[in-house]
Amino acid sequence: MDKGIAVSRPSEPAIPQPAISLHLRSSNLPGLTTSCSNFVEPDDEMKRFLNFDLRLAPQKLSAVAKLHCGSLVVCEEEIILLLTCEAYGRSKSTDAHAGLSMKSLPQPNTIFVCICNESDGSPIKSKLKIGGQHMNILSTMSVRVGLFGSPLQINIGPETKMSDGRASIFYPEENIQRFKASMADMDNFQINHNINHLRQVVAGFGDISTYKEYRCSLDILNHETLMPATVFTLCDLPHSKYGVSDTAATKIASRFLNVMSAQLLRGKTSAGHQQLNDVLSIYNAHTKKESSQQWKILNKFVQELNSALQNNNGTVNILDFGKRHASPLTEMINSCLATANAQIKENVMDVLSDTFGDILIV
């Protein structure tokens, strides 16, 4: 059964706001109380911003994702710290990945914090979502804040293990201030382009929204070895401990998507030999014509790419080509991300312990 609780409600959260700092000080991440400001529930102005019609300024999805990183979701006696979040629009005109489910759609002038039991062609997963009228936030990495001395429990991927019951969200005050300033200026919004900020998707490669930077992590985790792996970043990870050799079909396939996404982030709609020659050289040096299904998929992709380059004066339209040929490649890469994420999970535990896991504060 799907669970969801609007933040705006008469009842108090299971852990009231004044008790959160005390709870954190005696937790396995006590440094949160000294590294972060106060955590507060959204006021009426924040709720209006989070229900803003993002069709008018879809680029603000980046700001929405950044707002939620470092926030706390409180469910009964449990606290979940959000580490990596992906923002999704609800309208197909702004986001090719707008979900059909309306489970996280809030009542007017509220936001919704919920666990949605959903299946994306795979077994049902419990996904932690924060919903507004025109957006969804999906938590793709989080940590349960446990008792002092207890091991860290990291959720990585679309599924979040969280208790049933009432839920609330508390934002760091500095996140709120930055978000309100961003929403006050609708015309200007600067971001530093970063392939790590592309969402984990396996479809929609003919739509520009797939290549928008609608993902964000806590600042101390803003690196490809500390964020859930994507089809764009698998090629950036080391070979050792991450499960994929540098000369494997999946790693080379990810390099093609990495190059093409970089072009789009630079405002270019096409790629040519100048951008593709290096990865084509790597492919030509390691291709295997006769063996696995993975190589067959990559070989077919490169065959189509070479044909497009030949027929279009040495360039290829990235969105058109992605629409017609990227999906088999991305599904192949996606199937190899779990091993990489297992090592990333270990990396994140180390960083969180070093940053927030100091001595017990009394």
Least confident range from 31-45, 207-221, 266-280, 322-336: namely 31-45
| Nearest C-alpha neighbor of 208 from the set 337, 99, 96 | 96
pTM exceeds cut of 0.85: yes
Helix, strand or coil for residue 80?
strand
Task: Provide DSSP, 240-298.
Answer: TTTS--TTSHHHHHHHHHHHHHHHHHTT-SEEEHHHHHHHHHHHHHH--SSS-HHHHHH
Task: Provide DSSP, 97-165.
Answer: T--S--TTPPPTT--EEEEEEE-SSSS-EEEEEEE-SSEEEEEEEEEEE-BTTPPPEEEESS-----SS
> Which pLDDT belongs to residue 191?
72
Q: Within 10 Å of residue 19's Cβ, how many Cβ atoms? A: 12
What gap in Å lies between CA 45 and CA 64, rounded to an integer? 14
pLDDT of 6 > 80? The answer is: no
What gap in Å lies between CA 207 and CA 200, rounded to an integer? 15
What gap in Å lies between CA 210 and CA 41, rounded to an integer? 31
What gap in Å lies between CA 46 and CA 43, rounded to an integer? 5
* Tokens read off for 144: 């349960």
What are the residues whose beta carbons fall under 8 Å from the beta carbon of 12, sequence distance 6 or more? none
What gap in Å lies between CA 218 and CA 31, rounded to an integer? 15
Phi and psi torsions of 154, nearest 5°:
-95, 130
Listed by start position, the domains of the chain span 3-191, 245-335
Across 51-75, average pLDDT? 95
Determine the number of helices (DSSP H) and then strands (DSSP E) in the chain. 10, 12
What gap in Å lies between CA 305 and CA 287, rounded to an integer? 15
Give strand pairing partners of 39. Answer: 172
Q: What DSSP element (H or E) covers 334?
A: helix 318-334
What gap in Å lies between CA 213 and CA 87, rounded to an integer? 9
Crossing angle of the two packed helices 249-265 and 293-311, in degrees rounded to 10: 40
Give strand pairing partners of 135. Answer: 89
What are the residues whose beta carbons fall under 8 Å from the beta carbon of 106, sequence distance 6 or more? 6, 51, 112, 131, 132, 133
CA 282: distance to chain centroid? 29
Phi and psi torsions of 358, nearest 5°:
-80, -165
> Which pLDDT belongs to residue 62?
95
| Nearest C-alpha neighbor of 139 from the set 67, 211, 192 | 67
Across 186-206, average pLDDT? 87
> Which pLDDT belongs to residue 360?
41
Which amino acid is located at 259 in the chain? Answer: V
pLDDT of 158-189, one tens digit each? Answer: 999 987 666 899 999 999 999 999 998 877 66
pLDDT of 325 > 60? The answer is: yes
> Which pLDDT belongs to residue 289?
72
> Which pLDDT belongs to residue 50?
96
